[in-house]
A and B are shown apart, each in its own frame.
Chain A
Amino acid sequence: MQRRSTSALRPIVFRPVEDKSVPQELAKLNFIFFDDATQFEQSADKLADALQTDIGWIRQHTEYGEAERRWSAAGRPSGLLLHSPTLEVAEHWLVTRPHYAPEPTGEIRAFAVQSRKAARSAQRVWRLVLASTFTFMAVTILGLIGWINQDYLKAQINWYWTMRPYKVENFDRYVLSADAERALNPGVSFRECAKDCPEMIVVPAGNFLMGSPTTEKDRYDNEDDGSGRQHKVTIATPFAVSKFDVTFSDWDACVLVGGCPKVGQADGTGGRGEDRPVTFVSWYGARVYVAWLSTMTGKTYRLLSEAEWEYAARAGTATAYYWGDEVGEGNANCSDCGSEWDGLRTSPVGSFKPNAFALHDMAGNVWQWVEDCEHVNYKGAPNDGSAWTSECILDRRVVRGGSWLNIPPDSRSAVRSNWPAGNRNGRLGFRVGRTLTP
């Protein structure tokens, strides 16, 4: 585009202006022609050729010049600046001047520079807007996801900040190794934490008659198979039972690290105390605790089955109470058992003599949740000691052992009562079992 016309035309029509009669203003003349009246058409043709030389570039010069004048005249508003893609075309135009075309004016250059600056700043603003928008959207979305999953996130945060450190500190070094667990003999006690978890006692395998004979005094009719016979159960492997009911210190340790819900109770409904059995715990709450304990130890802590509970309570006895057939005085805490807490409140765990398995408070003090649900009697119950959780009557779970407010016969080993699983009151507590690896 640049080379063609100028080089061709130059020898004929282009001459430096040197005539002294040509004034200074014409020093910039690009072309000069000489009039020869007889040759007008020929010289006009040459002029026409010269005028078309580089007209593409020249026309842009004209247009940008006019645009610059409009911009200046209007007080240099940014709206009249060159914008992309015209700006890019103009910048390209600036650096591709044909050899014989006049220079772009300083004004046009300044106009292009100003346009570029404005474009850059607009770009920066736009990028900022984009970045802000995306950041805002991302934060909003993350916030929303976080809000929707806040329970999960809280649990995660709690696990990494509180519970896992507690597990490492209080449990990991105390958990039984597989070898140590296999070496356990019946009667041995162990504790898989530094503090605030139940002490466990190994109970031997064996078999027993569950329920009461029809001859037992003050018995209830759900204590047999529906036809007056007791239910024979064989427990094939040893298992562990907590020496005491789960206490408030045990429970509160779980609450403190976010593993269990808080339990509250009013005065005169059992009371509170570090070494007293935890109360106001529903069956679900008890399940939360054993699940938490299992997480902490990596072992299977669980509620006892009803059969396991009675087997552990009897500890080889067939009498109404594990100390005999009469309630006597000072053997347990019930409404009239001859203790200082009778009918008033719970007693500190271990306030009475243990049974033959060295387990305390298997009669009186608080009812103890077991895994099984309610049934009218033992007809159809499993005979291997496992929990009976099918064919339930509504969602009621069995409780065992009687309480500080119940009459003495309710503390008999064979007594089976039940509560809706969600119930919480000052007479309801629990103890834990643990499966032992054979």
Chain B
Amino acid sequence: MCLRLGLLATLGCSLRGTPAKKPILARVDHVISNAVEKTVKARIFISYSRKDIAFADRLDAGLKARGFDTLIDRSDIRAFEEWWKRIEVLIAGADTLVFVLSPDAVQPGTAALKEVAFAASLNKRLAAYRLSSSRG
């Protein structure tokens, strides 16, 4: 409406509390997305078992070195309500969750599995890095 009605509508948009932005048509969306793809790096949440922290750190460093914005939880105690809320916010803000997949990480009731389940509920893209059995 803001676009179609021109000047008066601009006034109307301002009245409604919507800032009268520079119009963006859906058609331009492609162009913008492509530009985003080239300049924006994915935000990655790394989910892991405490036992695999050495690999998780290495993976974190490796992704950071490649320009990614990584989110990794290094807190020792992972049980409090506030901690989980913070994790939820971090996962919600992440583009992809990378799961360090190991026998320890998939034990029922681990924080890592809880994180994966939450990310799945948000339809986040999920990637798993499966550790070789020798590491177990």
Contacts and interface: CB of A to CB of B under 8 A. Distances in A.
B24 A35 contact: no
A35 B132 contact: yes
Nearest to A43: B129
B119 to A, nearest CB: 9
A59 B36 contact: yes
Contacts of B43: 62
B94 A62 contact: yes
B87 to A, nearest CB: 14
A25 B132 contact: no
Interface in A87-113: 88-89, 91-93, 96, 101-105
Contacts of B125: 30-31, 58, 101-102
Contacts of A83: 13, 16, 18
B33 A56 contact: yes
A220 interface: no
With a 10 A CB-CB cut-off, give which of A17, A21, A52 has the most chain B CB atoms: A52
Contacts of A35: 55, 129-132, 135
B118 to A, nearest CB: 10
Given A1-B30, A35-B132, A51 B16 contact: no
Interface residues of A, number: 60
B78 to A, nearest CB: 17
Nearest to A44: B62
Contact of A56 (B17, B36, B59, B132): B36
Interface in B1-48: 1-3, 8-9, 12-13, 16-18, 21, 23-26, 29-30, 32-37, 40-44
A47 B1 CA distance: 43
B62 A123 contact: no
Given A51-B44, A56-B32, A84-B18, A1 B37 contact: yes
A306 B36 CA distance: 100
Contacts of A58: 42, 95-96, 125
- Pick the most buried of A26, A30, A41: most chain B CB atoms within 10 A of its CB: A26
A70 B129 CA distance: 31
Contact of B130 (A23, A32, A89, A129): A32
Contacts of A93: 29
Interface in A24-51: 25-26, 28-37, 40-41, 44-45, 47-48, 50-51
A287 B75 CA distance: 107
A362 to B, nearest CB: 73
B95 A44 contact: no
B127 A30 contact: yes
B93 A29 contact: no
B128 A32 contact: yes
Interface in B77-111: 92-96, 98-99, 101, 103, 106, 108
The interface residues of chain A, by DSSP majority, are classed as helix
Contacts of A48: 63, 66, 68
B53 interface: no
B124 interface: yes
Contacts of A52: 37, 41-42
A63 to B, nearest CB: 9
A227 B127 CA distance: 131
A54 interface: yes
Nearest to B124: A102
B129 A105 contact: no
22 contacts: A21-B103, A23-B106, A23-B108, A23-B113, A26-B99, A30-B126, A31-B128, A32-B130, A44-B62, A54-B37, A56-B34, A56-B35, A59-B40, A65-B122, A65-B123, A83-B13, A85-B23, A89-B29, A103-B123, A105-B123, A126-B9, A130-B8
Interface of B: 1-3, 8-9, 12-13, 16-18, 21, 23-26, 29-30, 32-37, 40-44, 55, 58-59, 62-63, 66, 68, 92-96, 98-99, 101, 103, 106, 108, 113, 116-117, 120-132, 135
The 7 closest A-B CB pairs, nearest first, are A56-B33, A92-B26, A31-B127, A56-B36, A83-B18, A44-B62, A102-B123
